[in-house]
Amino acid sequence: MAQLSDDCFAFGGPMLSVDEAVGIIASRVQAIGETESVPLVEADGRILAHDIPAPLPLPPFTNSAVDGYAVPHAMLPPGRELAVPLKGRVAAGAEAEVAQPGHAVRIFTGAPMPAGTDTVYMQEDVRIDEAGRVVLPAGLKPGANVRPAGEDIRSGDVALKAGARLRPQDIALAAAYGLTRLDVVRRLRVAVFSTGDELAAPGSPRTAAQLFDSNRFMLMAMLRRLGCEVGDLGILRDEPTALADALRQAAQRHDLILTTGGVSTGEEDHVKASVERAGSLVLWRMAIKPGRPVAMGVIAGTPFIGLPGNPVASFVTFVHVVRPTILALCGAQPSPLLPMPVRAAFNYRKKAGRREYVRASLRKADDGALEAVKFPREGAGLLSSLVETDGLIELGEDVVEVAPGDRVGLLGYASLL
Ligand code: AMP
Ligand code: MG
């Protein structure tokens, strides 16, 4: 599990922008490179290990897109209708026919095109005359209503790329090739700890000065959505020796160690000292709000990320630091977060030089446009601000003010994971 040399994250100095942090992660974190084969039904959300060249053209044979009548276009007189006798009938799944010259062939959707035909009249567009002939109106283009072999994907083209995070439609494509299993990157094993004497685990007693540990459950759910296997290592007390031991042990069995809390520089913030004891560490002061410092490190070759304790800061830094790290460890194609343009329905002022994420809800305005409404309060500890909103408005480093009517970008929560 030694994907990282101990100096990999060695980095000090000034504030890091979000883009710099993402860039450092992408360039320094190495993929684990271990794969496994899974059946298609279990492939959703997994990272494809190798390119898959199309073993067949899609569709595999030229076929009719509609129920109707197949003809050679060359038999049609320009500018006028033609009545032709019918000969033959081909349904979906049947062997292709050979058309008789001067005849139309009855055909159904998905049936192979009879040899000698290239165009299909929809049944709604023709009539049958008293003599039982099909009357074909003028004006149909050659090749109409036909799906040529390979029009979707040609044989040999790269149909699915290594590093793709498989979605239902990607799995459909693999099935369309007749595949039953896919090679994917094995699930990352991620250890998660919360730290802090003020935390009680849900289900155990809570003193009057404690709160229940919520971050660990949020982070574990986020990790699962990213396809990770989560090692829930509970709550670590603010005690450096025990912390360092726990981190060292976790490093042996995991590909990534994630903690929340204790990474500030207060005297009760022991994560920093413990990681330094067990491995090496840098504090990233990221120019991001909500954020506070994020700790990055390496413990016996295993990457370590220490997120802040405030739930919103933990959520936002997960998205910008943990998510790209996980994608890089899996060898996934980078997937930049692309904010969706919406109209601001709020006023906001911010400092230049840092990226801010404003929690917002979406609504449809009277003119039909999507509007973002800012959550009324701003504290990084407010879980309600995440629960009651739809996403994060991304305000770039150079933005200093937002006024109602401005166009802003929203990262919907669903798009983040
Ligand atoms: P810290 O980063 O350890 O200074 O924590 C900052 C604040 O975040 C604490 O005062 C707690 O209110 C809150 N906090 C820390 N850890 C958690 C957690 N696991 N779940 C919920 N809130 C937390
Ligand atoms: Mg703490």
Q: Is residue 10 part of a domain?
A: no
CA separation for the pair 226, 187 (Å, rounded): 10
Beta-bridged to residue 402, according to DSSP, are 348
Q: Is residue 260 part of a domain?
A: yes
Ligand nearest 199 Cα, by number? Answer: 1
Q: What's the pLDDT band for 240 if we cut at 50, 70, 90?
A: confident
Ligand 1, atom nearest to 214 Cα: 20
**Average per-residue pLDDT in the chain?**
93
Letter string b/e over residues 346-379, b meaning 16 or more CB atoms within 10 A of that residue's CB: bebebeeebbbbbbbebeeeeeeeebbebbeeee
Q: What's the pLDDT band for 8 if we cut at 50, 70, 90?
A: very low
The model's pLDDT over 309-333, given as tens digits with 9 standing for 90+, comes to 999 999 999 999 999 999 999 999 9
Q: What's the pLDDT band for 273 if we cut at 50, 70, 90?
A: confident
Ligand nearest 192 Cα, by number? Answer: 1
For the residues 102-126, what does the mean pLDDT come to?
97
Is the pLDDT score of 101 beyond 70?
A: yes
224 and 241 co-located in one domain:
yes
For the entire predicted model, the pTM comes to: 0.90
Is the pLDDT score of 157 beyond 80?
A: yes
43 and 179 co-located in one domain:
yes
For residue 45, what is the domain's CATH number? 3.90.105.10
Total domains in the fold of the chain: 4
Asked whether 308 lines ligand 1 (CB < 6 A), one says yes
Residue 342: both structure tokens together: 């919406």
75 and 142 co-located in one domain:
yes
301 and 400 co-located in one domain:
no
Q: What does the pLDDT read at residue 95? A: 92
Nearest CA to ligand 1 atom 12: 310
Asked whether 216 lines ligand 1 (CB < 6 A), one says yes
216 Cα to the center of ligand 1, angstroms: 10
212 and 247 co-located in one domain:
yes
263 and 370 co-located in one domain:
no
The model's pLDDT over 11-47, given as tens digits with 9 standing for 90+, comes to 445 689 999 988 889 888 999 999 999 999 999 999 9
For residue 72, what is the domain's CATH number? 2.170.190.11
Nearest CA to ligand 1 atom 17: 309
27 Cα to the center of ligand 1, angstroms: 31
53 and 175 co-located in one domain:
yes
Q: Which one-letter amino acid corresponds to residue 331?
A: G
Tell which of 329, 349, 382 closes a domain. 329
Q: Is residue 9 part of a domain?
A: no
Q: What does the pLDDT read at residue 13? A: 52
Q: What does the pLDDT read at residue 334? A: 84
196 and 316 co-located in one domain:
yes
The domain of 164 spans 39-57+154-185
Q: Is residue 13 part of a domain?
A: no
Q: What's the pLDDT band for 292 if we cut at 50, 70, 90?
A: confident
299 and 371 co-located in one domain:
no
277 and 260 co-located in one domain:
yes
Asked whether 314 lines ligand 1 (CB < 6 A), one says no
261 Cα to the center of ligand 2, angstroms: 5
For the residues 1-17, what does the mean pLDDT come to?
50
Asked whether 262 lines ligand 1 (CB < 6 A), one says yes
For the residues 267-293, what does the mean pLDDT come to?
87
Q: Is residue 335 part of a domain?
A: no
Q: Tokens 């595949």 identify what position?
A: 179
Q: Is residue 8 part of a domain?
A: no
Which DSSP string corresponds to 278-310?
HSEEEEE-BSEETT--EEEEEETTEEEEEE-SS
257 Cα to the center of ligand 2, angstroms: 17
243 Cα to the center of ligand 2, angstroms: 13
Q: Is residue 29 part of a domain?
A: yes
Asked whether 261 lines ligand 1 (CB < 6 A), one says yes
269 and 292 co-located in one domain:
yes
For residue 351, what is the domain's CATH number? 2.40.340.10
Q: For a substitution probing ligand 1, which of 193, 198, 232, 383 has the most ligand atoms within 8 Å of its CB?
A: 198
Q: Is residue 192 part of a domain?
A: yes
Ligand 1, atom nearest to 262 Cα: 3
Q: For a substitution probing ligand 1, which of 305, 310, 318, 383 has the most ligand atoms within 8 Å of its CB?
A: 310
CB 160 within 8 A of CB 48: yes
What residues does the ion ligand 2 have nearby, CB within 5 Å? 196, 261-262, 309
Is the pLDDT score of 344 beyond 70?
A: yes
Ligand nearest 317 Cα, by number? Answer: 1
266 and 359 co-located in one domain:
no
Distance of CA 357 to the CA centre of its chain: 20
For residue 270, what is the domain's CATH number? 3.40.980.10
Q: What does the pLDDT read at residue 9? A: 40
Terminal C-alpha separation, the chain: 24
